[in-house]
Structure 1
Amino acid sequence: MAGRRDGLLMRGGSGGSSFRGSPIAFAIGVGILFGCVFAFLFPRGLFALPAAARRANMSIRSLQISSFPCESPERINMLKTELATLSEKNAELKEQVRKLSMKIQLSEQGKDQAEKQFLTLASQHKAGPFGAVKGLRTNPTVLPDESVNPRLSKILEKVALQKELIVALANSNVREMLEVWFENIKRVGIPNYLVIALDDETESLCKSKDVPVYRRPPDNRIDSVGKIGTNHAVSGLKFQILREFLQLGYSVLLSDIDIVYLQNPFDHLHRDSDVESMSDGHNNMTAYGYNDVFDEPSMGWARYAHTMRIWVYNSGFFYIRPTLAAIELLDRVAYRLSHESRSWDQAVFNEELFFPSHPGYDGLHAAKRTMDIYLFMNSKMLFKTVRKDAQLQKLKPVIIHVNYHPDKLPRMKAIVEFYVGGKQNALDPFPDGS
C-alpha cells in the first residue's frame, strides 16, 4: 500500500509540474496573438507620424538632398566630351562591322567561281559526260604592280573594299550632276567609290563634301581635256586612266555622272567575266541578243539571211576585272581613240569587244556578261516602258542611267523624287524621248 501511495505521490508531483508550466506557454501564445493583431491594425506602428508630418519630413529630406552642390561645369563638359568620344567610337565600330559584312558577302559571291578557275587551270582534265562540261569563264587576274602609281595605290588601299570600287571622272562642267551622283551613293551607303577630279574646282568640291577624290599628276593633254573637254572627250580619257587601276590589281565599276544609285551595285554583280556591262537595249531581245532575219528578195530561194543582233554595251557603266584581256581591251580602245579623230568611244569599245578574229585582225579573247536590264536600267527603258506599267513601277532598280536624254539633271532629280521620295507623278512631265 505504501508503495502504491508513493507511486501516486510521484505521479501527482509530475502532473503538478506540468500544470504549472502550461500558464507560461499560454501567456506566450497570447502575446504572439496580440502581436499579430497589432501588426495587422497598425502597420506603421502605434506612434507613426501623421500623413502631413510624413510629407513634411520627406520635403525636408529632399531639400537636404537638393542642397548638395551640383556637378561643376568643367566636370559636365568633360562628361559631354567623353560621351561624344564614345559615340564616335560606336559609329566607327558599326562601320567596321558593316564593311566586314560586305567583305564576307563578296567573298562568298566569288568563292565558287574562284574554285572553278583554280580547278580548271591547275591541270589538264578529261571531258566529262554529255552536258556536264563547263569551260573557263573567268580569266585569272594579273599580279598587282604598285610601282605604277604609289600615290594612287595608297588611296585605293583606304577606299576600296575587296579590291573593287566605283570610279567616276568629272570636271566642273558637270558639278550639279556630280552632286546628285555622290549624294545618292552616300544615301545608299556605298563606301567604296572614288571621283577622279579633272580640275581644281572638282577636287575642292569633293573635299568640301567629304567625297573620296583623286587628282592626277599634271599632264598637259589630260589637263586641257579635263578643263574644257566635252562629255565624249572626257569619256575617252577613262580608258587610259583605268589601266592604272587594273595594273594595281583592282576591279573597277566605271560610272558616268548621269547615273542615279538606288541600291548597292556590288550586291548584284556576277564577277564571272572580264567585262560586265549594262546594255543600251530596251527589252530582252535587244539587250540579250536575237536572230534577226535579213530579207533580200533578189536572191530567190536564199532570200532570207539570218543575222545575230545585240544592242551595244554602254561604255558609261561597266565592271572590269584586272585581267590581261581587260587591260588589252583598254589599250586597244585608247590607241584607236588617240589615232582616229572621229571615233566615238562607245562604238570603239563595242567593236573591240565583239568583232571576231578574221583575216588581218585578231579579235579580243575577253569574256563578256550583259547586266540585268531591269536592275541596271537605261533611261529609254524607264521613260518609254517602265513608268507606264503598274507592275514594272514596283521594281526597284539598282541604278538608272540617264544616257538617252540630254536634259539629264532634271530627269535625275525626278528619278530621285519618284523612287526615293515616293512622288508617283514625278516622271510624268517628261516625254519619252528628247
Structure 2
Amino acid sequence: MIGRREREGPLMRNNAQSLRKSRVLTAVAIGILIGCILAFLFPNGFIVSHSRHLPVKGSKTQEISAECESSDRVNMLKSEFVAVSDNNAELKKQVRELTERLRLAEQGKDQAQKQFLALGKQVKAGPFGTVKGFRTNPTVVPDESVNPRLAKILEKIAINREIIVALANSNVKEMLEVWFTNIKRVGIPNYIVVALDDEISKYCELNQVPFYKRDPDEGIDTIGKSGGNHAVSGLKFLILREFLQLGYSVLLSDVDIVYLQNPFNHLYRDSDVESMSDGHDNMTTYGFNDVFDEPAMGWSRYAHTMRIWVYNSGFFYIRPTIPSIELLDRVATRLSKENAWDQAVFNEELFYPSHPGYEGLHAARRTMDIYLFMNSKVLFKTVRYDANLSKLKPVIIHVNYHPDKLPRMKAIVEYYVNGKQEALKPFPNGSSW
C-alpha cells in the first residue's frame, strides 16, 4: 500500500500543477478579453476627470476664460429662468380661464348633481325602502356687485338671509297699510317694500317701513308707476332676480295678504320653490287622479290624468338656487314677449315636463299647507262654516279670489285678531260680479 502511494504521488502532483497553470492562463485570457471590451466601450475610462477644464493657478488667460465661461453660463440660466417664468404665467392664465369656464359650466345643466358629487362621495344604493334622493339644490355664491346698494340694505334687515318682499305703487296704498300693520303686529322684522313710485317711498318712510327704491329704469318705471295688479305682478319676477343673486331667500308677498303668524316658522326650505295653492281642498291642492271618459274608444274609454290646481304667484318662498333664477328668467322673458297672465306662465314653467323641442325646468317644488297658508276661497266658502276649521289660526290669508279686497282684509283682521265672530258673515262666498 505504501509503495503504491509513493508511486502515485509524483504523478498526481504533476497533474495538479498542470491544472493550476491552465486555470491561470484561462483567467489571464479572460481578463485581457474583458479589458479589450471595456477599452472599446469606455475609451475615456470610468471616471472622467474635469481637471483639464480647470485653470491652473497663476495662469491669467485661463482665469479670464473661466470667468467668461461662468458669466455666459449665468446669462444662459437667467434666460432659461425668464422663459420658464413666462411659461408659468401663461399656464396660470390658462388655469384661471379653465377654472372660470368650469364654474360657468357647473351653473348650467346638472348643476346640483355635479356639486353634490364634488362635495360628497358617491355611495351605493341602500336596502329596499331606505333610499332617498337628494332634493335640495345648493345655493348660489352671493354676488354683491349686482347691486351694492340693495346688498347693504338687506344686510341690515334680513334674518338668516331671508326676507319678505312686496312690490307696491300708489294704486295699492290702502291695502299696503293693512299689510304692513299686521306684519308689525305679529312682530316680523325682516320685510321690505319695493317702492315703485315716489309716493310709496315717502309713505313707507313716514310709517317707518323698510323700503327700497330702484334706480331709474324707463321700462320698469312706466309699469311700476301706472301698471295695474297684473302688470306689477309680472314685473316682480325681474326685480326678484337681484335678491336671489345677492344670496337671499325671498318670501314674495302680494299686498292683499293679512299676516296672522310669522311665516318663517312654518317653512320647510327643502325645495327651490315653496308656494301656496289656489286649490280649495286636499284633492285640488295636493293633486288627484282625474279620469277622462271618452266612450268612442270602447274598451279604453277611461284615461287617467293627474291634476293639481295652480300655485299662487302672489305668495311663494324661493331659494337662491340656479333653478330658481332660471325660473325667474324664463317667466320674465315670456311675459316680455307674450300677452299672458304671469301666474299661468309661472306654473307652466314650473310643471311642464321636458318633451321634444322643450326642456323642462329641473326645480324642486313644495305645496304649502292649505289651512295655514289660506286663500280667500277656502276661507269664505269652507272654513267659516266649519266649526273645527274655524278654530284654526292660519299663518296668512290671501284675498286672491275676490275683487273687494280691502273690506275683506279688514274683516279678516276683525275676525281673527279682534275676535268678532260676525265679521265675515256679510260677504258672499264669491264675488258679486
Instruction: Give SS of 2:430's match.
Output: coil
Shift of residue 206 of structure 1?
0.3
Q: Aligned ranges for residues 197-212 of structure 1 at < 5 Å?
A: 197-212=195-210
Residue 123 of structure 1 and its aligned partner are, at CA, apart by 1.5
Aligned residues: 317
Q: Does 1:352 align with 2:349?
A: yes
Asked if 1:403 corresponds to 2:400, the answer is yes
- 2:152 alignment counterpart: 154
Among 386, 394, 399, the alignment partner of 2:391 is 394
Partner SS state of residue 364, structure 1: coil
Instruction: State how far apart, in whole Å, the 1-side matches of 2:305 and 2:359 are.
Output: 22
Secondary structure of the structure 2 residue equivalent to 1:413: helix
CA deviation digits over 1:171-214, x for unaligned, max 9?
00000000000000000000000000000000000000000000
| Counterpart amino acid of residue 369 in structure 2 | D
Does residue 415 (structure 1) correspond to residue 412 (structure 2)? The answer is: yes
**Residue of structure 1 equivalent to 2:294:** 296
Q: Deviations over 1:93-149 (max 9, x none)?
A: xxxxxxxxxxxxxxxxxxxxxxxx979951111000111111011000000000000
- In 1, Cα distance between the equivalents of 2:327 and 2:411? 36
Q: Deviations over 1:371-415 (max 9, x none)?
A: 000000000000000000111110000000000000000000000
The SS at the match of 2:413 is helix
Which residue type is aligned with residue 175 of structure 1?
K
CA RMSD of aligned residues (A): 1.1
* Amino acid across the alignment from 2:195: A
Q: Distance in 1 between matches of 2:241 and 2:225?
A: 21
Measure how far apart 1:226 and its partner are. 1.1
| SS of equivalent residue, structure 2 residue 315 | strand
Per the alignment, residue 372 of structure 1 pairs with 369
Q: Which runs of 4+ in 1 moved over 3 A?
A: 117-121
Q: Percent identity?
A: 80
Q: Normalised by the size of structure 2, how large is the TM-score?
A: 0.72
After superposition, residues 166-185 of structure 1 pair within 5 angstroms as 166-185=164-183
The letter of the residue matching 2:410 is K
Secondary structure of residue in 2 paired with 1:133: coil
TM-score w.r.t. the length of structure 1 is 0.72
Q: Of residues 250, 253, 256 in structure 2, which corresponds to 1:255?
A: 253
- For 2:224 and 2:235, the matched residues in 1 are separated by 9
For 1:143, what is the secondary structure of its paired residue? coil
Q: Show the 5 A alignment for 1:14-29.
A: none
Which residue of structure 2 aligns with residue 428 of structure 1? 425
SS where residue 224 of structure 1 aligns? Answer: helix
2:316 corresponding residue in structure 1: 318
- Supply the distance in 2 between the matched residues of 1:378 and 1:125 (Cα, whole angstroms): 43
Residue 132 of structure 2 is aligned with which of 131, 134, 158? 134
Q: CA deviation at 1:151?
A: 0.1
CA contact (8 A) 1:276 1:369 kept: yes
With over 3 angstroms needed to count, the CA separation of the structure-2 counterparts of 1:120 and 1:424, relative to structure 1, is farther
C-alpha distance in structure 2 between counterparts of 1:400 and 1:278, whole Å: 10
Distance 2:157 2:132 in 1: 35
Larger Rg: 2
Q: Structure 1 residue 227: deviation in Å?
A: 1.2
Query: Equivalents in 1 of 2:329, 2:299: separation in Å?
Result: 45
Equivalents in 2 of 1:303, 1:152: separation in Å?
57
Aligned partners of 1:188 and 1:264 also within 8 Å: yes
